[in-house]
Amino acid sequence: MSVPPITLSVSEARQNLSAMVDRAHSQHAPVYLERHGRRVAAIVDADDLDALLALAEDMEDIRAAEAARAELRRSPDGAIPWDEVKRDLGLG
């Protein structure tokens, strides 16, 4: 069962920063910080953040590959002419 995240004001978090960092690290649950009723930041475990960033990078690569495949499907012969590739890359 995952631990639900909590939300604190920035000033509350400042008073309990060490405990909030320990909670985020040990329970792998984010601590959201809010100012004037709006979430503005979060305290998260560093390894969890690294994993999320890696997943986001993977998703970006997947989307780029999907876009390239869609472009190939739009091309009449399934390929992009070399002259067009060179022009798009500013090579001639």
- On average, the pLDDT of the chain sits at 90
Residue 22 tokens, joined:
């320990």
Q: What angle do CA 54, 4, 11 make, to 5 degrees?
A: 90
Q: What does the pLDDT look like over 38-72, one tens digit per residue?
A: 999 999 999 999 999 999 999 999 999 998 888 87
Hunting for tokens 């090579």 — which residue is that? Answer: 91
Specify the pTM. 0.66
The CA-CA-CA angle for residues 38, 44, 45, to 5°, reads: 175
Tokens of 19: 């405990």
Residue type, 16: N
User: Higher confidence at residue 89 or residue 92?
Assistant: 89
Q: What pLDDT score was predicted for residue 72?
A: 79
At 78, the pLDDT band (50, 70, 90 cuts) reads low
